[in-house]
Copies of this chain bind each other. A is one copy, B any other.
Amino acid sequence: MNEPDAALKTLGVSLGDRSYPIHIGPGLLGDPQWLTPHLAGRQVMVVTNDSVAPLYLETLKQGLPDDLDVREVILPDGEATKNLANVERIWDALLAAGFNRRCTLIALGGGVIGDMAGYAAASYQRGVAFIQVPTTLLAQVDSSVGGKTGVNHPRGKNMIGAFWQPRAVLVDTHTLATLPPRELSAGLAEVIKYGLIRDVDFLAWLEASMAMLRDLDAAALTTAIERSCSIKAEIVAEDETEQGVRALLNLGHTFGHAIETHQGYGHWLHGEAVGAGMQMAAELSHRLGWLEASDVARVRNLLAAAALPLAAPGDMRAEDFLSLMRLDKKNLDGRLRLILLGCLGDACVHDATPPEMLVSLLEEFPRA
| Chain A residues engaging chain B, CB cutoff 8 angstroms | 41-43, 84, 88, 91-92, 95-96, 98, 100-102, 119, 122-127, 148-150, 153, 155-156, 158-163, 241, 326-327, 329, 331-333
Contacts and interface: CB of A to CB of B under 8 A. Distances in A.
Contacts of A333: 41-43, 100, 102
A88 to B, nearest CB: 7
7 contacts: A91-B160, A95-B327, A101-B332, A122-B162, A125-B329, A126-B150, A126-B162
B331 A100 contact: yes
Nearest to A120: B160
Interface residues of chain A: helix, strand, loop or mixed (majority): mixed
B241 A127 contact: yes
A101 B98 CA distance: 35
Nearest to A155: B95
A93 to B, nearest CB: 11
Contacts of A161: 123, 125-126
A122 B119 CA distance: 11
B127 A163 contact: yes
A343 B98 CA distance: 32
B88 A84 contact: yes
| Nearest 10 Cβ contacts at the A-B interface | A95-B155, A126-B161, A125-B329, A123-B160, A100-B331, A102-B332, A126-B163, A101-B329, A126-B162, A41-B333
Contacts of A331: 100
A122 B91 CA distance: 18
B98 A159 contact: no
A28 to B, nearest CB: 27
A123 B42 contact: no
Contacts of A84: 84, 88
A43 B102 CA distance: 38
Given A156-B95, A333-B41, A333-B42, A123 B125 contact: no
Nearest to A326: B98
B327 A153 contact: no
Contacts of A127: 162-163, 241
Nearest to A156: B95
Given A95-B159, A124-B160, 15 more contacts: A95-B155, A95-B327, A98-B326, A98-B327, A100-B329, A100-B333, A123-B160, A123-B161, A124-B159, A125-B159, A125-B329, A126-B163, A126-B241, A127-B162, A127-B241
A84 B162 CA distance: 16
A100 B332 contact: yes
A147 to B, nearest CB: 9
A219 to B, nearest CB: 36
A98 B333 CA distance: 10
Contacts of A88: 84
Contacts of A124: 159-160
